């Protein structure tokens, strides 16, 4: 698995005992890579649909979304 950028929205999950919040396990949620890909998806689908059938565009959007996400993570990691 490529570098996923870590958690996009990290936090702590709380449970309750007799109405009192108890700190639980860390709630990681989606990776930053998945979030970047999800943000790119809708615009890429529109662009891909211009020159492809809708079905062809759907088949390509996932791949292109993750290429975008990988590029975003690579750029982000340049500063480290």
pLDDT at 69: 94
Q: What is this structure's pTM?
A: 0.68
The tens-digit pLDDT sequence of the chain (80 residues) is: 467 888 887 777 677 778 776 666 566 678 899 999 999 999 999 999 999 999 999 999 999 999 999 999 999 888 76
Output the CA angle 34-71-76, nearest 5 degrees.
85
What lies within 8 Å, CB to CB, of 25 at 6+ separation is 12, 13
DSSP state of 4: -
d(CA 37, CA 48): 15
Point out which residues pair with 7 in neighbouring strands.
31
């Amino acid at each position: 698995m490529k570098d996923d950028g870590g958690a996009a929205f990290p936090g702590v999950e709380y449970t309750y005992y007799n109405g009192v919040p108890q700190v639980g396990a860390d709630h990681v949620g989606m990776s930053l890579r998945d979030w970047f890909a999800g943000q790119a998806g809708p615009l890429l689908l529109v662009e891909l649909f211009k020159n492809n059938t809708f079905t062809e565009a759907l088949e390509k959007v996932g791949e292109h979304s993750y290429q975008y996400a990988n590029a975003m993570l690579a750029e982000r990691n340049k500063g480290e």
